[in-house]
Every structure is written in C-alpha cells, then in structure tokens.
C-alpha cells in the first residue's frame, strides 16, 4: 500500500520583495493570456488552462472525445489531456523515497513528471517552458521566438509590466534579423552564437519564472470553494456532502493519495500528495494521437507515464520498470469546474472518463465487474456493467481502489462532496 506523503517540503524562493513578486505575477499573467506566443498567434497558455474551468482545458470537442486539445498548428495533437495549472505551485522537484523496498516518486509536473524542477529552478517554471516549444502545442521553433515576442510587448500592447522592467538586460541581446520570419515557421531551424544563446536561455527562464509566479498567485489558487468556507465555519454542506466527505477520508480511501493535510505553507489541503499511480485506466481509442505522424507506434502506442520519463535519466533509469503506467496524482480542487453547467469535462490523463459518477464507480468496482470485450466508451461500459482492460497492466493499484464495496448512495455522496471543491468567483 502506498503511504501518504506529507507535504513538508521546500517550495521555490519568492522574489526579494512584495513589489518584485507583484511585478513577476503581472508579467506572468500577461504572458499566460498572450496569444502571440504561438506559431499561429492563435493560442495562449489559457487556451488549455482556462480560468472558467479551474485552469483546465475547456475545449468541448476534446472533452467529449479523445481528451487532447489541438495545438496552434491545425491537425496536430499531443498525447494527453492538459492538467490543471491551479494548485500546482507546491509540487517539489521530482525525487523518490523508498517505501516497502520500492521507489515512490514524488513531485515534478506534467502527468509523466518530465518537468522535474531542475531546468528553471522550480517545477512550475520548468512546466511553463514546455508548451511554447512543443510542436503539438504552441509550436514556436525556438526559445528566442518567445523572448523576442515578449520583449516586443509593453503597456501599449496590454502588458502592465514588461520583461525589461524585471531585468533591463533581458531584451538587450542581438537577435538575428531573420528571426521574425523564422519564428512564423514551426519547422524553422534557428541557430545562435554561444553568447546570444546563453542570454536567450536566461531571458526565457525569467519568462517561465514569471508565469510560475502568476500560477502560484491567489488568482490561480484562491482556496475559494464552498468546502473551504465550510472548513472556516462560513458555509454549510448538505447532509449528503458531509457524508461524502467522511467516505472520502475513510471508507473510500480517497485521502490516501488526495491528502487532507495542510499544504507546505500551512494553507488548506491541496488534495494531492504529488505522487504517481497506475489506476488501471483503459486506453482512449478516440485520442487523435494514435493517428499522428509523430507517433511512430501508431495504434500500438502505450502511455507508459512516469516510466518513460525515468528511462531517459541515467540515475533513475533502473527504477523505470516499477513505474510503468503511473501518472501524476492530480489535485481534486476544481475537479468539476465548468464554464457552464452543461459544459463537458473529461477525467484522467487520457480523458476516457466523462463523468465524476463514472470515475467513482470505477474506483469502487474496477476489480469486481467483468472485463468488457474490446474497447468501450465510459457510457458503454457503464451500460454493459463492465470495464475495459487497463492500458498498462503492470503496477496497477489494487490496494486503494477496485473493490471498495460502496453502495450507490455512497458513490453519489462522494460525487456530491467533490463538487464542493469548485472555487467560487465573485460576480
């Protein structure tokens, strides 16, 4: 059984003053919503991390189908559903502890932990770097494109704080005269001399750290749900919701991983221990990644999760076999946040689940119901009373889910409680 990990780890140091922090957050917010920082000038970070959905993906087509969002370049998709950017600030750098003779990995960002926290000095900043340059996301061909476009922004373009305001040197490097044209081509090869490359890297890191500062701010992680107000004695939960909370932390074993301990700074529960787990989630055959040219495995592709990340690390490669199929334990805050009450949502790393009811039913009965024949949607599986085979059979967690012996009323109570975790915004 996986032991819950306490959240007593160090978080990235803040800027030296409150004024510096405010400027970092202001720049990060502007960058977060800037659509010019993509190959087609058509996507921003907020495209996949919308405040209206708790900083998760709002795309209705993606949520009703393959769970993944089309990138800036039409027809290109990544392989996983975007994780929420909210409440991720406390993730420590990727590391491991030994539990019962096996490594238990903690921290990092993305579902597979590939943003380790080593590149930019913080996990959030590492994560922020990735989408700008991912061909299947914002698709800019080089970090110099991000730097040049951010440097071009100021108050006239809607940036309250410019990159130069944080560091006058950040936009002073000489960039190639062809850069603007090259940056419009996602496949361009951009070469810089060593000095310029180092300056670009430093500025790109500063941009990423500003995005991280915004994502760590109260605007993104406000702890403003009805659950929080109930905990503070300022709101009530219904009898069903309170029953769901008691089941969540006891019989249903949810709190083993979605921990209720205070966060590292004494803040309310983050509802994650930042570990990794293989829940036995079925493959999502609707994922357009199976048909992407970049996916050389085609229909045979298997999402190995953390194992694939560790395999590329000389130190951690020997541990990879213990981590096949494991994905990051997400926060449950805003798990049901929607732009409108009837807007679709998708769940798990691949978006196979479309309802919280289905997720809870799966946790309860995965090992009890028979196996479906072949692939099936969540709706088909629920109607037929079966579950498709796990995408990755190794390392499936049989200790904390699969046969919880919950009644239908208890399942419904847990769902009702989960809906109290949605942040409420002022009108």
* Whole-number pLDDT of residue 16: 61
Q: Which residues contact 173 (CB under 8 A, 6 or more apart)?
A: 195, 196, 199, 200, 203
Average pLDDT over residues 278-298: 96
Question: pLDDT tier at 8 (50, 70, 90 boundaries)?
Answer: very low
Domain 226-421 sits in CATH at: 1.10.760.10
Q: Which tokens belong to 332?
A: 């449950």
Residue 68 has pLDDT above 60, yes or no: yes
Name the β-bridge partners of 353. 347
pTM: predicted TM-score of the whole model, two decimal places: 0.93
pLDDT digits (tens, 9 = 90+) for 353-373: 999 999 999 999 999 999 999
Task: Give buried/exposed letters for 26-48 (b at 16+ CB in 10 A, else e).
Answer: bbbbbbbebeebbbeeebbbbbb
Question: pLDDT tier at 136 (50, 70, 90 boundaries)?
Answer: very high
Lowest mean pLDDT among 38-52, 107-121, 270-284: 107-121
pLDDT digits (tens, 9 = 90+) for 316-358: 999 999 999 999 999 999 999 999 999 999 999 999 999 999 9
Q: How far is CA 301 from CA 68, 222, 250, 275, 305, in A?
A: 15, 38, 37, 24, 12
**Do 331 and 282 meet the contact criterion of CB atoms below 8 Å apart?**
no
Residue 182 CA to residue 164 CA, distance in Å, equals 23
CATH-assigned architecture of domain 18-215: Orthogonal Bundle (1.10)
* Whole-number pLDDT of residue 71: 96
* Whole-number pLDDT of residue 6: 46
Q: Which tokens belong to 427?
A: 């009108």
* Whole-number pLDDT of residue 323: 96
**Residue 276: how many CA atoms within 13 Å on its side-chain side?**
32
* Whole-number pLDDT of residue 100: 82
Domain ranges of the chain: 18-215, 226-421
Residue 256 CA to residue 241 CA, distance in Å, equals 19
Average pLDDT over residues 101-108: 92
Residue 375 has pLDDT above 80, yes or no: yes
Residue 156 has pLDDT above 90, yes or no: no
């Amino acid at each position: 059984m996986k032991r819950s990990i306490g959240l007593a780890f160090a978080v990235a140091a803040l800027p030296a003053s409150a004024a510096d922090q405010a400027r970092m957050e202001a720049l990060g917010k502007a960058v977060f919503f800037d659509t010019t920082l993509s190959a087609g000038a058509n996507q921003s970070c907020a495209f996949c991390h919308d405040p209206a959905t708790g900083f998760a993906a709002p795309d209705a087509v993606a949520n009703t189908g393959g769970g993944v969002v089309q990138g800036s370049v039409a027809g290109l998709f990544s392989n996983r559903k975007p994780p929420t950017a909210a409440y991720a600030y406390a993730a420590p750098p990727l590391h491991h502890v030994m539990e019962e003779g096996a490594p238990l990995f903690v921290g990092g960002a993305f579902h597979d932990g590939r943003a380790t926290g080593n590149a930019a000095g913080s996990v959030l900043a590492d994560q922020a770097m990735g989408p700008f340059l991912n061909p299947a996301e914002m698709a800019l061909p080089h970090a110099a494109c991000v730097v040049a476009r951010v440097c071009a922004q100021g108050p006239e373009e809607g940036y309250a704080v410019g990159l130069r305001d944080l560091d006058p040197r950040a936009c002073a490097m000489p960039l190639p005269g062809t850069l603007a044209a090259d940056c419009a081509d996602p496949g361009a090869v951009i070469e810089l001399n060593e000095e310029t490359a180092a300056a670009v890297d430093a500025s790109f890191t500063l941009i990423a750290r500003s995005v991280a500062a915004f994502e760590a701010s109260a605007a993104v992680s406000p702890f403003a749900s009805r659950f929080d107000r109930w905990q503070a004695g300022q709101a009530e939960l219904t009898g069903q919701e309170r029953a769901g909370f008691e089941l969540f932390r006891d019989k249903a074993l949810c709190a083993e991983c979605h921990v209720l301990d205070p966060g590292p700074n004494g803040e309310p529960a983050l509802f994650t221990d930042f570990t990794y787990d293989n829940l036995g989630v079925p493959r999502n055959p609707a994922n357009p990644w199976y048909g992407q040219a970049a996916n050389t495995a085609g229909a045979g592709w298997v999402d190995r999760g953390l194992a694939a990340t560790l395999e590329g690390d000389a130190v951690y490669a020997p541990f990879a076999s213990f981590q096949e199929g494991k994905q990051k334990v997400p926060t449950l805050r805003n798990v049901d946040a929607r732009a409108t009450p009837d807007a679709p949502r998708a769940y798990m790393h691949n978006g196979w689940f479309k309802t919280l009811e289905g997720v809870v039913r799966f946790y309860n009965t995965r090992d009890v119901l028979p196996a479906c024949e072949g692939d099936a949607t969540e709706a088909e599986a629920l109607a037929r009373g079966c579950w498709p085979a796990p995408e990755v059979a190794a390392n499936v967690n049989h200790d904390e889910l699969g046969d919880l012996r919950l009644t239908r009323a208890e399942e419904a109570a847990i769902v009702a409680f989960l809906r109290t975790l949605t942040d409420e915004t002022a009108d």
